[in-house]
Structure 1
């Protein structure tokens, strides 16, 4: 289990970036790349779709034109074995005479590679936040056996609920608050199903995001047992639905939610039965990560990774049967175009004076489904993860005007924060703390999968700080489209910043360390780094 991050002021300990690294970024090409990747022709760039093939061809050809070498065992592509699972949405959740509608009131899916999952009179249990965290003295599953049962859990963690810095990490979400953790722990406890109660503030997004992200094609890696060790049903329920269920059980949802904030909370048997039939259409196929390489001059056993995920949500039919394309222009065509711009600029610089360390420029698949491409890369890397110095990850760029700050995700996490601070200062900017630590962005993008293998990372993300309308009306919605009126001022300054950090790391001998005690730090120590 991953120890959460502490928030405290960090003073840089590694060598200070002494001078600005100047690169010539091709903003005209950046604009063209973003526009093409986010076009309707690419269909929302879903894995295992026609849009994937267009995306892969575009990226591979771009890296070839730039002059980068293949980065994965002599190829630009790394195969990622996936199962595409489509759950028939003509299903209902029935609980003691109440029937709920898929999409509008609940979502349900599975990562098990089977065509039929059924809840038949499954006992319903409320287990608070669904957390088992010994280091916090917290176990919501204490004293109850949920094997074969359906559990209802709250979103986020008790720290956010209490806003008490002495409870977990207060307002800053820990990994225990992530929906991925809720499903993982429920599986470990033997539950047949888990439904997370959606509330906008602790989830950090509205019901529309849950609906769009869970009712279409979903993707998963495949283990040796068709993923049967995973929880059978992974679901969400609307807040109002949860209240109806608790009222039917002669219980008060709000009262029990308050009780769940305390470590002595005991799970509550709702004395109700859940029934659901999940019918799946399954396609097994290979998706692909893209990996290109800029060789170093004399430290080829030391590698940096510059990354952005290429996928988005694809194309879906709305309730009226109309086709809706989720183009993901900001998330994450903007980031992919950023990686291409950096690759082009670094190749031009290396042609004059090679960088010492190797640099991989990567784009992974299936980030939106749970960092799947990143997980596969982390477990099957082209070079050992112990030889990876750092992983820099762009997940949405500031396509609007430039600002005098850069968002810093996590404080006191790794020495890479010092690089961010120093590079920002050189460029007359400052690091602004994540304004939404409760959203848990440290755990929601591809750098997290590499952190699990001990590789420190930096996240560069701008999804709403310069566009207040973005999260509410564009994020994971059909409105995330390319816009000709974007000024791209933020892109220009962020490419300069990222390029400065990447160049410094590519030429020095530093190995940025994890700071706070965590499983990340322990994993890195295993590699003697």
Structure 2
């Protein structure tokens, strides 16, 4: 830790902190930032869905701004990295039948697939309750032990046993692990051979209401396509309302709450519900390419070492309801605010580099399809412009504080990597304190693009402010139409946070440090394979 802080302080002596520099040419330009934010979050861009007219407008806007700054192409000789996507749209005129329960799509359940099949059917598929659906050897936990779910429908609980019990010695207690994420539930069920997975929604352990589930899963969804047309993935990826799960368990002669408590204890055994599931999922599949956008500021001494400054550009797009009414999800905070931040940082750093070049290269990036499951980031992580062992760190903005400044900065995760020391030092430069994630049970560190890079061993930081000075945001704006640009935003928090991020980015771009992972994890093991 002393070595890192010393490196940061030495770098600060060599390179003036961008946030506090007297050089007006690199000051934060609130008008430019506001223009970017207002444009990207406008109705004209239609909610910036991948493979839409809004994507074309968005990636052209970002690429044009990078070119104006004189930045080099970030992917070979191109600013755009093609991402092969399939757009899968499930016909919502469907009914899920489990036993005597007949559930209505949208209001009571959601179902989708990433398999490249026009139709996926559950025909009297046996239903099994597998608790949290976790197989975690390091925690001596396997919900699938002793049960064969091949070709069956499994019902799983959201989050993990640590949250359910609040036992700090079970998993990570209140803080969600990756085993609690919905993405993991589907991945593990596929490994176990299940045909379908339905996650029971409860607001507290999920960290969001049913409206988020419905909005995020009933429209078109996007997926990368492998050479097996995704046939190794689970056939049906779904959610069920809590009240409907209670009914299904009651029909099986079981009490849902009792079974949930049983599932949170070591030694849990999966339980067949002695009922069957029936569903026909009709899909429209369109194959196309979406794009990541990236631009390079080359380093003067170690150009083959790269720091990435990032924000995803996509949001939920436009939906038309059954009455023909258009609903545009503009995603102003999530994440037009972050893209605007990357563009402004790119301007600030490009100007500074004209008088004092940075030693390492900086890649300014904006990826597609984060909202569908970090798809653009996953593609980048597998096909980066430089090997991941050459990427020092990945700094990710996923929603900025568009209101007044605050005296703290949020840290997602604790004791994860040495990047936390950089955050500590930069916060001190602004006389701010580092505040732990107020809702670690939400697992936010697994829910944004930096996580795809972490899986390849690259440590990073996520900067997310979804509600500073706006306690109404999560409840009524997050992933809803109400996440719109507001001309009354002061942007004081943006000015403040971009200064802090600039501090960290500048330090990493000039020192020789390779931040390490602190806790034992697959991330640490992956980095060790690269000799870092």
TM-score band, normalised by shorter chain? over 0.9
Q: Does residue 1:314 correspond to 2:304, yes or no? A: no
Once the 2 structures are TM-superposed, how far is the Cα of residue 301 of structure 1 from its aligned partner? 1.1
Aligned to 2:483: 480
460-469 or 322-331: bigger deviation? 460-469
369-378 or 92-101: bigger deviation? 92-101
Aligned to 1:355: 358
Q: What aligned pairs does 1:99-110 form with structure 2 within 5 A after superposition?
A: 99-110=102-113
Instruction: Provide the rounded CA distance (Å) in 2 between the counterparts of 1:474 and 1:234.
Output: 25
Aligned to 2:267: 264
Instruction: Provide the rounded CA distance (Å) in 1 between the counterparts of 2:322 and 2:507.
Output: 51
Distance 1:25 1:182, change over 3 A: same
Instruction: Provide the rounded CA distance (Å) in 1 between the counterparts of 2:463 and 2:495.
Output: 13
Q: What aligned pairs does 1:512-523 form with structure 2 within 5 A after superposition?
A: 512-523=515-526
Q: Does residue 1:29 correspond to 2:21, yes or no? A: no
Once the 2 structures are TM-superposed, how far is the Cα of residue 321 of structure 1 from its aligned partner? 2.7
Instruction: Provide the rounded CA distance (Å) in 2 between the counterparts of 1:465 and 1:398.
Output: 6
Q: What aligned pairs does 1:114-513 form with structure 2 within 5 A after superposition?
A: 114-513=117-516
Q: Does residue 1:15 correspond to 2:18, yes or no? A: no
Aligned to 1:44: 47
Aligned to 1:60: 63
SS in 2 for 1:184: helix
Instruction: Provide the rounded CA distance (Å) in 2 between the counterparts of 1:355 and 1:50.
Output: 37
Instruction: Provide the rounded CA distance (Å) in 2 between the counterparts of 1:30 and 1:68.
Output: 18
Once the 2 structures are TM-superposed, how far is the Cα of residue 263 of structure 1 from its aligned partner? 1.4
* Structure 2 gap ranges (5+): none
Distance 1:236 1:522, change over 3 A: same
Judge conservation of contact 2:403–2:468 (CA < 8 Å) in 1.
no
Instruction: Provide the rounded CA distance (Å) in 2 between the counterparts of 1:321 and 1:232.
Output: 30
* Structure 1 gap ranges (5+): 1-10
Judge conservation of contact 2:5–2:425 (CA < 8 Å) in 1.
no
Instruction: Provide the rounded CA distance (Å) in 2 between the counterparts of 1:294 and 1:318.
Output: 44
Once the 2 structures are TM-superposed, how far is the Cα of residue 320 of structure 1 from its aligned partner? 3.0
* Deviation sequence 1:376-425 (CA, Å, 0-9, x none): 00000001110000000000000000000000011111111001000100
Instruction: Provide the rounded CA distance (Å) in 2 between the counterparts of 1:436 and 1:13.
Output: 31
Instruction: Provide the rounded CA distance (Å) in 2 between the counterparts of 1:66 and 1:27.
Output: 17
Aligned to 1:7: none
Instruction: Provide the rounded CA distance (Å) in 2 between the counterparts of 1:143 and 1:282.
Output: 37
Once the 2 structures are TM-superposed, how far is the Cα of residue 29 of structure 1 from its aligned partner? 0.5
SS in 2 for 1:14: helix
Once the 2 structures are TM-superposed, how far is the Cα of residue 13 of structure 1 from its aligned partner? 4.9
TM-score after normalising by structure 2: 0.97
* Deviation sequence 1:424-478 (CA, Å, 0-9, x none): 0011111000001000011000000001111100000001243110000000001
Judge conservation of contact 1:72–1:291 (CA < 8 Å) in 2.
yes
Once the 2 structures are TM-superposed, how far is the Cα of residue 66 of structure 1 from its aligned partner? 1.3
Judge conservation of contact 2:408–2:432 (CA < 8 Å) in 1.
yes
Q: Does residue 1:73 correspond to 2:106, yes or no? A: no
Q: CA RMSD in A?
A: 0.9
* Deviation sequence 1:164-185 (CA, Å, 0-9, x none): 1010000000000000000000
SS in 2 for 1:15: helix
Once the 2 structures are TM-superposed, how far is the Cα of residue 317 of structure 1 from its aligned partner? 1.6
Instruction: Provide the rounded CA distance (Å) in 1 between the counterparts of 2:498 and 2:480.
Output: 26
Judge conservation of contact 2:309–2:362 (CA < 8 Å) in 1.
yes
* Deviation sequence 1:105-143 (CA, Å, 0-9, x none): 000000001100000000011000000111101011111
Instruction: Provide the rounded CA distance (Å) in 2 between the counterparts of 1:205 and 1:391.
Output: 27
Aligned residues: 519
TM-score after normalising by structure 1: 0.97
SS in 1 for 2:169: coil
Judge conservation of contact 1:12–1:417 (CA < 8 Å) in 2.
no
Instruction: Provide the rounded CA distance (Å) in 1 between the counterparts of 2:468 and 2:403.
Output: 10
Once the 2 structures are TM-superposed, how far is the Cα of residue 12 of structure 1 from its aligned partner? 5.8
Aligned to 2:530: 527
Flag as ranges the 4+ runs of structure 1 deviating above 6 A.
none
Aligned to 1:5: none
Judge conservation of contact 1:198–1:207 (CA < 8 Å) in 2.
yes
